[in-house]
């Protein structure tokens, strides 16, 4: 009995678009919370009316701790970023998910826009801390 979790929860969450487009289509948006650690996953399938604004998603199930930015793993398909570096997703303490990319030549990180996801798919997993 002493090895049972006292604070364990799992469920689904609904990602919302904050910027970079007018709407999103997602699937498999799930989370697991153990204590103050929250792991979210999502398959971002499409963005409606993509635009050049930085892509930001909201709707995460728990608010991150102040200063609790966390970076997560991404897998991308048919994303037209114009770079050959890495794509990653960040949960910031403001509760939004930021998508950033690196240029393999100089490793400079920059925001990805909604228009870079035209016909693309992105799967991401992020673990962050909540209070």
* Residue 115: predicted pLDDT: 83
Pairing between β-strand 16-19 and β-strand 56-58 as defined by DSSP bridges: antiparallel
Tell me: the pLDDT tens digits for 88-103? Answer: 888 998 999 998 887 6
Tell me: the pLDDT tens digits for 16-43? Answer: 999 998 888 999 999 999 999 999 999 9
Using alpha carbons, list the distances in angstroms from residue 53 to 50, 81, 128, 131: 8, 13, 25, 31
Residue with tokens 């364990």: 8
Q: Note the pTM of the prediction, 2 decimals.
A: 0.86
* Residue 2: predicted pLDDT: 58
CA–CA separation, 87 and 1 (whole Å)? 42
């Amino acid at each position: 009995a002493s090895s049972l979790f006292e604070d364990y929860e799992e469920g689904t969450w609904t990602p919302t678009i904050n910027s970079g487009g007018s709407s999103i289509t997602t699937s498999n948006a799930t989370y697991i919370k153990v204590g103050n650690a929250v792991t979210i996953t999502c398959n971002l399938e499409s963005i409606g009316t993509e635009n050049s604004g930085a892509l930001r998603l909201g709707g995460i199930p728990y608010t991150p701790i102040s200063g609790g930015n966390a970076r997560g793993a991404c897998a991308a398909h048919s994303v037209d970023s114009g770079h050959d570096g890495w794509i990653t997703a960040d949960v910031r303490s403001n509760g939004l998910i930021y998508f950033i990319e690196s240029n393999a030549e100089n490793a400079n990180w920059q925001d990805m826009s909604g228009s870079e996801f035209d016909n693309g798919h992105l799967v991401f997993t992020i673990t962050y801390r909540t209070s």
